[in-house]
Amino acid sequence: MRIETWRNSLKKLEDMSLENFSLSEFDSPDSPGSGKHMTKEFLKKIDKAREISGVPYIITSGFRTPQHNETLKKQGYKASPNSSHLKGVAADISCLDSGTRQKIVNGLIMAGFTRIGISDTFIHCDCDSDKHDAIWLY
């Protein structure tokens, strides 16, 4: 993503209202207010996905500062140096049962997400244009 595109997206966030989320749900734990770094494209898609799914989304990881990403890596989590979370184009959604998992994944796909990772306890989604489309398991 070009820096100009990101800056324009960030400016427009102030004018955007989300139906199902507040920006603070995407904050990095070490940086209150950092949810504002999520891109407008991502937020529109995840808001639409939540509407389609018809179930609550609990965001366990949205935007990450480089420091928080490094902390996660040291704790043994999969937190790559080119994580889409660092760009504000990814989120992890808590999910503990197969019925809810099916609803969330269906909503994500119908909203246009083409990069989805599925684990036993969360679903990752991103719209990182620098990466190939994929569905994977953790």
Per-residue tokens: 83: 């994580």
**CA–CA dist 26, 49 (Å, integer):** 16
* 128: pLDDT strictly greater than 70: yes
The number of CA neighbours under 13 Å toward the Cβ of 33 is: 1
Which of the four pLDDT bands, split at 50, 70 and 90, describes residue 29? very high
Q: Which domains does the chain have, with CATH numbers?
A: 3-25+32-137 (3.30.1380)
Q: Is the pLDDT of residue 130 over 90?
A: yes
Q: Which residues, listed in sequence order, are joined to residue 118 by a DSSP beta bridge?
A: 123, 137
User: Strand (E) positions, 54-108?
Assistant: 59-61, 90-94
The pLDDT score that the predictor gives to residue 78 is 85
pLDDT at 7: 57
Tell me the average pLDDT of the chain. 92
User: Mind listing the pLDDT tens digit for each residue in 57-74?
Assistant: 999 999 999 999 999 999
Kindly report which listed range (8-17, 29-38, 49-58) carries the lowest average pLDDT score: 8-17
pLDDT of residue 3: 63
**pTM of the model as a whole:** 0.87
Residues 46, 91 contacting (CB under 8 angstroms): yes
Buried b (16+ CB within 10 A) or exposed e, 95-132: beeeebbeebbebbeebebebbbbeeebbbbbbbeeee
